[in-house]
Amino acid sequence: MSNSSGTGTPALDLDELRSRFTEVFGAVPDGVWQAPGRVNLIGEHTDYNEGFVLPFAIDRTARVAVRFRANSAVRMLSTFGNQGLTTADAHVLDPATARGWTKYPLGVLWALQQRGLDVPGLDLLLDSDVPRGAGLSSSHAIECAAILAVNELAGGGLSAHDMVQATQRAENDFVGAPTGIMDQSASLLGAAGHAVFLDCRDQGVRLVPFDAEASGLVLLVIDTKVSHSHSDGGYAARRASCELGADVLGVQALRDVGLADLEEAAGLLDPETFRRVRHVVTENDRVLQAVELLERTGPEAIGGLLDASHASMRDDFEISCPELDLAVDTARSAGSIGSRMTGGGFGGSAIALAPAGAEQEVRDAVGRAFARAGYTAPDIFRVRPAAGARRLA
Ligand code: GLA
């Protein structure tokens, strides 16, 4: 068994995954594809406002072994959770009956069919060490691994850009989560030692150096164990507020509102919508500043931006929760140079950028604070910017 640092489902190595596939399905897989989860360094709830984000692919991945079949039967199994086979028919894909993680690969098949690709049945074995429900995009990791596999086996010829669109369609219209394009872009386009600076309006991408450990820092994920789902109401409600704000301000998207416009916006919007808008506008600005600082100085320069981003999500966008706030505040007082919740919010994980020498104190202090508050013990682990999705075998 191989495993990356921290806790979570242990990952099978490649040979173990292939022999497990052969045992279960009675034939060798056509190939194995892998796609990482992501941490968003900064730029939250800006993607669907056509703004800027700065996520990175992490060294935690979903891997799918896949074999195309001669008929339309789909059979799926994971190495974790319920050990029974899930079956479906590739010609009759129905979101209402898709359960658990299987809705992600099924959503991908559906989205590819919507684009006119003829996708047959298949056997799929999933293994993943991306913690689930932790705000690290375990679902997009599965979707990206699955779309790479199916695109290649079906000769779909899709570009990374097409795959970003198709996985968004799968999420929005099959899974039922009205999410943007950040997560799959990070998973598909990430690179070791870099964050992915993405302009969500034109999908322009620039890799920005982000190697915390080379600067004597560590990037810790603090998984609060408060689970969240973007198919629930909170995420959609924030998205609706942003659309309302853009409408009232007469712009295509909040991307078109600048810091200098906020004063006037305050007079035009109701107080709650104004706070939502202010978060998006200031967050876009923080992403641009973070990119500049990373390129000019290095990771040690962005701590203040991470803190400001968290305060904005807590007070203006109101998507934090007591566990995330405690993680962030404690990490800060224990020596981190910056800390914020990451991902869609309402639970999931916080990140803390800390000097390597303060790592143990941050871990201990957060653990103690959670115990004192009577919260479930958090999982705390390091992540590093890693390569994006690819074929393994
Ligand atoms: C989730 C969504 C992303 C993005 C973030 C918030 O991760 O999948 O598209 O909107 O929330 O930044």
Is 213-382 the same fold as 14-209?
A: no
| Nearest ligand 1 atom, CA 53 | 12
- What mean pLDDT do residues 342-360 have? 97
What's the pLDDT at 59? 97
Q: Is the CB of 344 under 6 A from ligand 1?
A: yes
| pLDDT higher than 60, residue 52 | yes
| Nearest ligand 1 atom, CA 181 | 9
- Per-residue pLDDT band at 81 (split at 50, 70, 90): confident
Entry pTM: 0.95
Q: Distance, CA 344 to ligand 1 centroid (Å)?
A: 5
Q: Distance, CA 135 to ligand 1 centroid (Å)?
A: 9
Residues 6+ apart with CB under 8 A from 286: 42, 43, 305, 308, 309, 312
| pLDDT higher than 90, residue 184 | yes
- Per-residue pLDDT band at 83 (split at 50, 70, 90): confident
Under 8 Å between Cβ of 54 and 40: yes
Report percent pLDDT > 90 for the chain: 93
Report the nearest-CA residue for atom 5 of ligand 1: 344
pLDDT tens column, 253-297: 999 999 999 999 999 999 999 999 999 999 999 999 999 999 999
Q: Distance, CA 313 to ligand 1 centroid (Å)?
A: 13
- What mean pLDDT do residues 127-132 have? 95
| pLDDT higher than 50, residue 7 | no
| pLDDT higher than 50, residue 5 | no
Beta-strand pair 31-42/390-391: antiparallel
What's the pLDDT at 2? 34
HSE toward the beta carbon, residue 101, CA cutoff 13 A: 31
What's the pLDDT at 189? 98
CATH of range 213-382; options 3.60.20.10, 3.40.50.970, 3.30.70.890, 3.40.190.80: 3.30.70.890
Beta bridge partners, 195, equal 208
Q: Is the CB of 180 under 6 A from ligand 1?
A: yes
Ligand 1: residue of 38, 39, 45 to mutate (most ligand atoms within 8 A of CB) is 45
Fold of 14-209: Ribosomal Protein S5; domain 2 (3.30.230)
What's the pLDDT at 8? 53
Q: Distance, CA 161 to ligand 1 centroid (Å)?
A: 17
**217-223: strand order across its sheet:** 338-342, 349-355, 217-223, 379-382
Look at residues 151, 150, 143 and name the one whose alpha carbon lies nearest to residue 169.
143
What's the pLDDT at 26? 98
Q: Is the CB of 52 under 6 A from ligand 1?
A: no
Q: Is the CB of 131 under 6 A from ligand 1?
A: no
- What mean pLDDT do residues 292-314 have? 98
- What mean pLDDT do residues 216-244 have? 91
Show the tokens assigned to 17.
């995954």
Please count the residues of the chain: 393
The DSSP output letter for 71 is S
- Per-residue pLDDT band at 6 (split at 50, 70, 90): very low
Show the tokens assigned to 142.
């599965």
Residues 6+ apart with CB under 8 A from 194: 56, 207, 208, 209, 210, 211, 385
What's the pLDDT at 1? 31
Burial of 240 (0-12, 13-18, 19+ CB in 10 A): middle
Q: Is the CB of 183 under 6 A from ligand 1?
A: yes
What's the pLDDT at 84? 85
Report percent pLDDT > 70 for the chain: 97
Q: Is the CB of 343 under 6 A from ligand 1?
A: yes
b/e map 206-239, b = 16+ CB within 10 Å? ebbebbbeebebbbbbbbbbbebbbeeebbeebb
Q: Is the CB of 50 under 6 A from ligand 1?
A: no
Which residues are tagged catalytic?
183
- Per-residue pLDDT band at 11 (split at 50, 70, 90): confident
Q: Domain boundaries in the chain?
A: 14-209, 213-382
Range of weakest confidence among 9-13, 118-122, 143-147: 9-13
- Per-residue pLDDT band at 385 (split at 50, 70, 90): very high
